[in-house]
Structure 1
C-alpha cells in the first residue's frame, strides 16, 4: 500500500497499460474525507496483496484526475488490466472498499 499521495502521476496511457488489478486513489493529504477512509482502505488492501495501489494527489489541472473525471475526493478507481471496472466516491468505510475488491478479484 502506498501511504503518501504522489504528485507525479502516470499518464493515462501508462495506466491503461497496467496489468492485473489496480486501485487508483485520488485525493489530497489535507482532505478530511481522504484522511477518514485511510484505516479502512489499509485494512482492505492488506487482504489483497496482489492489488496494485496508486495514491495520486489530485487538483485543478491534474491530467490523470481529469481523464477519470474525478469530481470529489477521495475517489477510488478500480482497474482490471487498465480498464475501469468499478468506482467508489467518498466511500463510507473499509467495508465498501472490501466489497468492491472481493467482486473485482473474483472476476
Structure 2
C-alpha cells in the first residue's frame, strides 16, 4: 500500500475511518528521517490493511504542535482512534514489525476499559 501524505485537513477523517493508522512525523532536512523512510515504505507493503501516513512537520506545524512533536522522526500509532504508541527515534524493520504485531494483538475493549478507569481516578 502506498504511504500517504497526511495534513491537518485529512487527519481526522483518516483516523476515524481506518482501524490502524501509523504516522511518521518527519522533515526533509532530517537525516534519520531520510534513513527511516525506506523502512517505513517497505513495511507498509507488508500490511495493506493499515494506513501508513507521513506528516511533514515543516508544512504541518499545527499538527506537529498539537501532538507536541519535539524530535523527529516520531512514530505514532492509532488503533480505533486511540493512540497506542508514540515514540521519537528511528526503528529498524524488525522493530517496526514487532510494534505492529503488538498493536494487532491488543484487546481494544480492555484498552478502553483501562482508559476509562484511569479517567475516573483522575
Q: What TM-score do the two structures reach when normalised by structure 1?
A: 0.80
Mapped to 2, the partners of 1:41 and 1:16 lie a distance apart of 18
Q: In structure 2, what is the equivalent of residue 90 of structure 1? A: 89
Question: Size of the alignment, in residue pairs?
Answer: 105
Please give the per-residue CA displacement for 1:20-71, whole angstroms capped at 9, x wherever unaligned.
0001111112211100112221222221111111211104971111121111
Normalized per residue, the structure richer in helix is 2
Find out whether 1:79 has 2:89 as its counterpart.
no
SS in 2 for 1:69: coil
Q: Give the unaligned 5+ runs of structure 2.
A: 107-122
Higher RCO, 1 or 2 (CA under 8 Å, sep at least 6)?
1
Tell me which structure has the larger Cα radius of gyration.
2
RMSD of aligned Cα (Å): 2.4
- Taking the TM superposition and a 5 Å limit, the aligned residue runs for 1:47-62 are 47-59=46-58, 62=61
- Could you list the runs of 4 or more consecutive aligned residues of structure 1 that deviate by over 6 angstroms after TM superposition? none
Q: What TM-score do the two structures reach when normalised by structure 2?
A: 0.71
Q: Post-superposition shift, 1:72?
A: 0.7
SS in 1 for 2:9: coil
Mapped to 1, the partners of 2:67 and 2:40 lie a distance apart of 20
CA 1:105–1:43: 2 relative to 1, 3 Å: same
Q: In structure 1, what is the equivalent of residue 3 of structure 2? A: 2
Q: Post-superposition shift, 1:10?
A: 3.0
